[in-house]
Each structure stands twice: as C-alpha cells, then as structure tokens.
Amino acid sequence: MDWMLKDLADSVPHARNVVVLSSDGLRMAQYGTGDDAADRLAAACAGLQSLAAAVGHEFPHGDRRMRLVVIEMSGGFFYLMAAGARAYLAVLADEGVDAGLMGQRMRDLVARIGEHLSTPPRRSEQVG
C-alpha cells in the first residue's frame, strides 16, 4: 500500500506525511515519515476521531459519522479522512498546500482502495 500513499503525496505539492491507521490508533501503512512519528500520529488520530464522533452526535440528521477533519496550524495543515470501515487516512502538509486538491486526491484514494483499508474489529475474548 505504501506506493499508493507515495502517489498521493507526489500528486499534491506540499504534502509531507501520509499514514493509514485503524480506528484504535494502530499504524497500517505510511509514507514520508519514520515508524515512531507515524505511530504517534496514528495514536493522536484515534483520539481526534473519537472527539469528532462525539461532536457528530450534536447533528440531528444523517449518519453522524466523521468524514473529514482539517486542522490548520502555524506551519501547515492536518487532514484526517474516513477510509473504510474502522480505517482512516491522515496527511500532514506544509503551508501552501491546495486544500481542494488535497481533499480530492484523498477522496480518490479512498474510493480506489477503501475496501482494502478496512480493518476487522478486534476481539476482547481471551483464550483460557
């Protein structure tokens, strides 16, 4: 999957890091960053996704699921997009990124490989 993440980063100027993660914050794939940074980003995304779900309950209509979160910080942008059942696509980009292009390319990637990004639910059963 890493080559598909590279394609996303290469197709949007100023894109830096791309990470695919499970809803419980485990890194599944990455591009443009080391394992430690990708793990930290994945864990933070799990918390952000949970926060977005809580905000979603304030909307009276629709399925209330988080589709896209964008955070602008000094120095750049952070994007988090739902990417299949219990999977998310996260991107860090520098200032100057074209937000519309980034959203479009992220949606295109999710549409192409969304079913492959899904993660099965974890079981809490213990073998005894």
Dihedral of the alpha carbons of 65, 68, 69, 75, in degrees to the nearest 10: 170
Q: Tell me which of 1-5, 14-18, 68-72 is least confident.
A: 1-5
Please report whether residue 128 resides in a domain: no
Please report whether residue 123 resides in a domain: no
End-to-end CA distance of the chain: 36
Please report whether residue 37 resides in a domain: yes
- The domain tally of the chain equals 1
pTM, whole model, 2 decimals? Answer: 0.85
Please report whether residue 24 resides in a domain: yes
pLDDT band at 117; cut points 50, 70, 90: low
Element (H, E) at 51: helix 35-56
CATH classification of the domain holding 74: 3.30.450.30
Output the pLDDT for position 127: 46
Please report whether residue 127 resides in a domain: no
Which residues form the domain of 25? 2-117
Q: How far is residue 60's CA from residue 79's CA, in Å, rounded to a whole number?
A: 25
Output the pLDDT for position 123: 59
Q: Which of 13, 38, 37 is nearest to 29 (CA)?
A: 38
Please state, in angstroms and as integers, the Cα–Cα distance from residue 107 to each residue in 1, 7, 21, 34, 67, following that order: 16, 13, 16, 24, 10
How is residue 17 written in tokens? 């890091």
Q: How far is residue 120's CA from residue 61's CA, in Å, rounded to a whole number?
A: 27
Dihedral of the alpha carbons of 3, 7, 10, 16, in degrees to the nearest 10: -60
Sign for the CA dihedral angle at 4, 8, 14, 19 comes to negative
